[in-house]
């Protein structure tokens, strides 16, 4: 049995997989862009295991996610940019810096105070990055929304951009303004459906979704969590329709819409009786 630490073994395994001569052809071929979708997928699978309260799956999915970090770090090391240790050192330094109430002489009476100090420290870090960019001849300020990744899922990206805009006062005073905007966007969606202009319709649907995220945010609701909750509800009821038809020796292809709707409503009623959505 190896006396290496598990993380060192993992780093060594990845180095072997990426070896140009003796490594795996698939792993050698990859780059940051080709691996990025897998990284996102693994993060979602971690979240799914947590939501299902499956700790055995969570252990495995966390390992898969860690592999993604090691994979990216290895490619960066090959490019002469940084290695895994640099990644670990950077996050350790950041956590120590942002928790002066734990690692220094700072104080924090409650989670709200921690959040205030965290934001202050982030602002200080941003100012230092700005100075560094100026010294490097780069644009001083990439903009308020620059650190909202374009690779975020659409709902999350909209939510984060709206949050940042709200912090500088670019926001509806209350939720009623956001609701009015949503109603306006739905009218425009209906108009483009009637006009049968798919390009403009796509734009208006995007505007309506963005407005819906605003309503959720102003109401203190996580839009992604809300949508996932509805997705799960649809999954349950659709599977109930499938099961109901199967019990009668039918398939969904053989059933009428009215038959499927009746089974859907029955599933909905059962959930209502149990106190579900």
Average pLDDT of the chain is 92
Q: At what angle are helices 223-247 and 257-273 packed, to 10 degrees?
A: 120
Res 276 pLDDT > 70: no
Distance CA(37)–CA(95), nearest Å, equals 27
Averaged over 179-193, what is the pLDDT?
Answer: 97
Across the range 261-268, mean pLDDT stands at: 95
Rounded to the nearest angstrom, the gap between the alpha carbon of residue 48 and the centroid of all alpha carbons in its chain is: 12
Q: What are phi and psi of 176, to 5 degrees?
A: -60, -35
Residue 26 DSSP code: H
User: Residues 113-156: pLDDT tens digits?
Assistant: 998 999 899 888 888 888 887 888 877 667 788 888 888 889 99
Examine the pLDDT at 1 and tell me if it is beyond 60.
Answer: no
DSSP helix/strand/coil, 178? helix
**Average pLDDT value for residue range 251-271:** 94
User: Helix, strand, or coil here: 138?
Assistant: coil
Q: How confident is the model at residue 277 (pLDDT cuts 50, 70, 90)?
A: low
Angle between helices 84-97 and 55-78 (to 10 degrees): 110
Mean pLDDT, to the nearest integer, of 190-203? 96
| pLDDT on residue 2 | 63
Rounded to a whole number, what is the largest CA-CA distance in the chain?
Answer: 74
């Amino acid at each position: 049995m190896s006396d290496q630490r598990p993380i060192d073994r993992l780093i060594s395994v990845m180095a072997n997989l990426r070896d140009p001569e003796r490594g795996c052809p698939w792993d050698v071929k990859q780059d940051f862009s080709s691996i990025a979708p897998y990284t996102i997928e693994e993060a979602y699978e971690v979240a799914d295991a947590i939501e299902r309260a499956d700790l055995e799956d969570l252990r495995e999915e966390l390992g898969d996610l860690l592999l993604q970090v090691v994979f990216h770090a290895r490619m960066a090391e090959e490019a002469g940019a940084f290695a895994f240790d640099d990644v670990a050192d950077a996050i350790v330094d950041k956590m120590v810096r942002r928790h002066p109430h734990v690692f220094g002489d700072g104080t924090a009476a409650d989670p709200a105070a921690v959040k205030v100090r965290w934001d202050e420290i982030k602002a200080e870090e941003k100012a230092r990055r700005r100075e560094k960019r100026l010294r490097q001849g780069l644009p001083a300020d990439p903009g308020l929304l620059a650190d909202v990744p374009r690779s975020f899922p659409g709902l999350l990206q909209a939510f984060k951009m709206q949050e940042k805009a709200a912090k500088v006062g670019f926001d509806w005073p209350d939720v009623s303004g956001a609701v009015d905007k949503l109603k306006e966007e739905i009218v425009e969606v209906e108009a483009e459906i009637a006009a049968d202009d798919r390009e403009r319709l796509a734009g208006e649907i995007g505007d309506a979704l963005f407005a819906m995220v605003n309503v959720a945010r102003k109401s203190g609701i996580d839009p992604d969590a809300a949508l996932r909750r509805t997705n799960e509800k649809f999954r349950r009821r659709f599977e109930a329709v499938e099961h109901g038809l199967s019990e009668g020796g039918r398939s969904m292809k053989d059933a009428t819409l009215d038959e499927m709707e009746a089974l859907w409503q029955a599933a909905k009623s059962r959930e209502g009786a149990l106190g579900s959505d």
